């Protein structure tokens, strides 16, 4: 992800099925959590994770 300067990456299995997503934090010092993503979206569901 550093070499390609991307922050998001789809994870797929050998047949191309989506298994998940990786999201590198803007600081590039770790990966986003579901709580981070929901909080940034304004989604009220993030309350359940905090």
Per-residue pLDDT reduced to its tens digit, 12-35: 999 999 998 888 888 888 888 878
Residue recorded with tokens 């304004």: 42
Is 29 within the bounds of a domain? yes
Q: pLDDT digit string (tens) for 39-48? A: 777 766 555 5
Is 44 within the bounds of a domain? yes
Distance between CA atoms of residues 48 and 21, nearest Å: 21
Is 24 within the bounds of a domain? yes
Total number of domains constituting the chain = 1
> Residue 8 half-sphere exposure, CB side, CA atoms within 13 Å?
3
**Does the predicted model carry a pTM greater than 0.85?**
no
User: What integer pLDDT is reported at residue 36 of this predicted model?
Assistant: 77
Is 3 within the bounds of a domain? no
What residues make up the domain containing 27? 8-49
């Amino acid at each position: 992800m550093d070499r390609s300067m991307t922050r998001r990456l789809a994870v797929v299995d050998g047949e191309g099925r989506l298994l998940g997503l990786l999201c590198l934090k803007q600081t590039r010092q770790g990966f986003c959590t579901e709580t981070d993503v929901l909080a940034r979206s304004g989604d009220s569901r993030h309350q359940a994770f905090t």
